[in-house]
Amino acid sequence: MNSASPVGLERIVPLNRYRYLLNKVGWSVFTILFVLVLNFFLFRVLPGDPARALTKDPRMKEAAREALRVRFGLDKPVINCFDSLTPIKLGDCGVNPLETQFFIYIKNLLQGELGISYKTNRAVSEILVERLWNTILLIGAGQILSIFVGIALGVLAAWKARTAIDYGALFTGLVAWSLPTFWLGIIILFWGSSHGFPIGGKATPGIGAYPFLQQAGDIARHMFLPTLAYTIVFMGEYLLVMRSSLLDVLAEDYILTAKAKGLSAFQILKDHALKNAMLPIVTIIAINLGFTVAGAIQIEAVFSWPGLGGAIFEAVESRDYPVLQGAFLLIAVSVILANLIADLTYTYLDPRVQSE
């Protein structure tokens, strides 16, 4: 038998705002922990780790294999009770938990160590930090542009509902939404390469010797095509969501009230409709962060942009597991944090959240 209170009664019991915020923060912390655990076990459960394969290579001498096992930390049990997970090999449950692979992984993480790249022999954390900034630069520029353009077109479409402008914007949005990111990247690259744009990378080699302005100009020229592709793909969804959200808001009773108050159409749009219609967009941006990363992987692969997505692409090709593991962790944590920020922004924007 359901025991929820009858409709209406729950509204008189306001939920504490701080409790709500604490809930959100606590949940994000939990999610990060989950990702840490997932990231560790995923790579130990799934087959195909070349390090593990190497340590089992019968052509090598026992001593060499043992040395490799020590080097990759595979000599220790995965976690209490399990010496190995593929194949499952039970072990001693009484070992010192700090001496297991799992806790060494956690300990290293806390010290900012993500292992050594198989391919380049550099510290993974070092590679990733450098690449993280490149990705943020690309995603940041692309997201800001796509949000701006998408919302502007969406507002225009909703305002001019059921006119040619509206139908044009709607069709543009649907097509943009349907474009595969990497393909659009290829087409734009194809076009750009014949119009004098650099076809890949972040900067012309050797540009570091030139003055700052020239460097910035060079990076901007390299960024133009990937950002364009990125903007077009993401603009579509923002356009569609903004249009539909604003259409809903503009049909609300309080818009009629505002009109009855004698406000002009522009005033109503500015003071009564936009903020309300933006609320769903904030949620969409939060939910979209995962797709944002997917977009970055594709764009970076096409334009050889040295970002995190590119790192994943290269690590997959060369089966460079520590980099793959580190990149996934970094991406997941960034998305979770960005999600939290979006959630908190929403709480701040919508007064109703505080008491629901």
Partner 1 sequence: MAVQELELKPAVPASPLTGFWKMFRENRMAVAGLVMLLVIVFAAVFADVIAPYNPRSYEGIQSGDIYNPPSATHWFGTDDAGKDVFSSFIFGARNSLIVGFFAAFISIFIGGTFGVLAGFYGGRIENFLMRFTDLMLVIPDLPLIVIFVALTKPSLWNIILVIGLLGWTTTARIVRSQTLAVKSRKFVLRARAIGAGNGHIILHHILPLVMPILVVNAILVISLAILSESTLAFLGLSDPLAISWGQMLNFAFGRGAMSVGAWWALVAPGFGIVWVVLALTLLGNGLEQVLNPRLEAHHLMPGRLPVWGGEAESYPATAVRKSRRRKDAAMVLDVRNVSVAYVNGNSQVKAVQNVSFQLYEGELIGLVGESGCGKTTLMLALLRLLPAAGQIVNGQILFDGRDLTSLSEAEISDIRWKDISIVFQGAMNALNPVRTVGDQIKEAIVKHNPAFPQKRLETRVIELLGLVGIPAAYKDHFPHQYSGGMRQRAMIAMALSCNPKILIADEPTTALDVMIQAQILDLLDELRAQLGLAIIFVTHDLGVVAEMCDSVLVMYGGVTAEYADVDTIYNSPRHPYTQELLKAFPDLSRPERKLAFIPGHPPKLDALPPGCRFAPRCSQAFERCVSEMPRLYELKAGHVASCHLAEGKSR
Partner 2 sequence: MTQEYALEIRNLKKYFRAGRPGWFSRFEKYIHAVDGVDLQLRRGEVVALVGESGCGKSTLALTLMLLEEATEGNILFEGRDITHISARERKAIRQRIQMVFQDPYESLNPTQTIEEIVTEPLIVHGLALDGNERRQRVLRALEDAGLKPAEDYLHRYPHQLSGGQRQRVVIAGALVLEPHILLADEPVSMLDVSIRAEIINLLADLRRTRGISVIFITHDLGTIGYFADRVAVMYLGRIVEIGTMREVLKKPKHPYTQALLSVIPVPNPRMRKKRVILQGETPNPIDLPSGCRFHPRCPMALEVCRQSDPALLKVTETHHAACLLLVK
| Under 8 Å between Cβ of 235 and 175 | no
Query: Using the rule CB under 8 A, which residue among 116, 276, 305, 323 binds partner 1?
Result: 276
Q: Considering the rule CB under 8 A, would residue 15 count as an interface residue with partner 2?
A: yes
- CB nearer partner 2, residue 28 or residue 227: 28
- CB nearer partner 1, residue 14 or residue 94: 14
Kindly write out the interface string for residues 213-252 of this chain, putting x where it contacts partner 1 by CB under 8 A and - elsewhere.
----------------------------------xx-xxx
Q: What is the DSSP string of 100-151?
A: SHHHHHHHHHHTT---B-TTT-SBHHHHHHHHHHHHHHHHHHHHHHHHHHHH
For the segment 17-56, give every residue that binds partner 2 (CB under 8 A). 18-19, 22
CB of 149 to partner 2, least distance (A): 40
- Which of the ranges 4-12, 103-111, 137-145, 256-264 carries the binding residues for partner 2, by CB under 8 A? 4-12
For the segment 172-211, give every residue that binds partner 1 (CB under 8 A). 174-175, 177-183, 186-187, 189-190, 193
Instruction: For residue 177, give the nearest of 112, 96, 97, 234 by alpha carbon.
Output: 234
Cα–Cα distances in angstroms (integers) from residue 277 to residues 151, 284, 354, in the given order: 10, 12, 18
Given partner 1, partner 2, none, residue 55, with its beta carbon under 5 to 8 Å by kind, binds: none
- Which of the ranges 108-116, 140-148, 201-209, 335-343 carries the binding residues for partner 1, by CB under 8 A? 335-343
Q: What is the DSSP string of 149-166?
A: HHHHHHHHHHHTTTSHHH
10 Å Cβ neighbour count for 244? Answer: 16
Q: Considering the rule CB under 8 A, would residue 5 count as an interface residue with partner 2?
A: yes
- CB nearer partner 1, residue 147 or residue 338: 338
- CB nearer partner 1, residue 207 or residue 282: 282
Find where tokens 């593991």 sit.
325
Q: Residue 196, by phi and psi: left (phi above 0), alpha (psi -120 to 50) or beta?
A: left
Given partner 2, partner 1, none, residue 10, with its beta carbon under 5 to 8 Å by kind, binds: partner 2
Residues whose CB is less than 8 angstroms from the CB of residue 285 and which lie 6 or more positions away in sequence, other chains included:
143, 147, 342
Q: Considering the rule CB under 8 A, would residue 348 count as an interface residue with partner 1?
A: no
Q: Considering the rule CB under 8 A, would residue 12 count as an interface residue with partner 2?
A: yes
Query: Using the rule CB under 8 A, which residue among 105, 234, 303, 328 binds partner 1?
Result: 328
Given partner 2, partner 1, none, residue 19, with its beta carbon under 5 to 8 Å by kind, binds: partner 2
Instruction: For residue 309, give the nearest of 327, 286, 291, 333 by alpha carbon.
Output: 327
Kindly write out the interface string for residues 155-174 of this chain, putting x where it contacts partner 1 by CB under 8 A and - elsewhere.
---xx-xx-----------x
| Under 8 Å between Cβ of 118 and 203 | no
Q: Considering the rule CB under 8 A, would residue 299 count as an interface residue with partner 1?
A: no
Q: Considering the rule CB under 8 A, would residue 266 count as an interface residue with partner 2?
A: no
Query: 124-159 vs 321-349: helix axis angle to the nearest 10?
Result: 40
| Under 8 Å between Cβ of 307 and 138 | yes
Find where tokens 């923060």 sit.
25
10 Å Cβ neighbour count for 76? Answer: 18
Given partner 2, partner 1, none, residue 311, with its beta carbon under 5 to 8 Å by kind, binds: none
Q: Alpha-carbon distance 324 to 78, whole Å?
A: 19
For the segment 12-71, give every residue that binds partner 1 (CB under 8 A). 27, 31, 34-35, 38, 42-43, 46-49
Query: Using the rule CB under 8 A, which residue among 29, 37, 81, 287 binds partner 1?
Result: 287
